């Protein structure tokens, strides 16, 4: 059973927002924390209290990758901060310069 503080509607809205406005940020996270830094596409397919589930495409083959949050998500309001933290850590892991946090 998945544990999440998000309602189905909140998760659906968050998934749509990440797909529409943060695809590049999700790809950076997938490249840093997935099995292949050469991933060419990624999207968030689920969110729970412990992290993001991504569908990541490596060499035209999609795979599911789970990226854990540093701290458990206990309220829906924390999602933006958890995502921004993952993005900062991913940029650091890849040796990329810092950028403004995604919102």
CATH number for the domain that contains residue 62: 3.20.180.10
* Count of structural domains within the chain: 1
Half-sphere exposure (CA, 13 Å, Cβ side) for 55? 9
pLDDT of 36-52, one tens digit each? 899 999 999 999 999 99
pTM > 0.75: yes or no: yes
C-alpha span between 62 and 13 (Å, rounded): 23
* Alpha carbon distance 12, 21 (integer Å): 14
Query: Which percentage of the chain shows pLDDT scores above 70?
Result: 99
Question: Is residue 97 domain-resident?
Answer: no
- pLDDT of 1: 54
Predicted confidence (pLDDT) per residue in 44-82, tens digit: 999 999 999 999 998 889 999 999 999 999 999 999 999
Query: Is residue 101 assigned to a domain?
Result: no
Residue 79 lies in a domain: yes
* In-domain check, residue 25: yes
Q: Is residue 2 part of a domain?
A: no
- Whether 96 maps to a domain, the answer reads no
Per the structure, the complete domain to which residue 26 belongs is given by 10-91
């Amino acid at each position: 059973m998945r544990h999440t503080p998000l309602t189905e509607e909140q998760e659906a809205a968050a998934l749509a927002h990440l797909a529409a406005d943060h695809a590049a940020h999700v790809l950076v996270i997938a490249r840093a924390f997935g099995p292949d830094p050469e991933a060419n596409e990624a999207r968030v397919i689920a969110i729970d209290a412990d992290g993001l589930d991504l569908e990541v495409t490596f060499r035209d083959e999609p795979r599911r990758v789970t990226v854990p949050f540093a701290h458990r998500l206990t309220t829906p309001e924390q999602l933006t901060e958890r995502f921004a933290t993952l993005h900062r850590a991913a940029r650091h892991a890849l040796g990329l310069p810092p950028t403004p946090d995604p919102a």
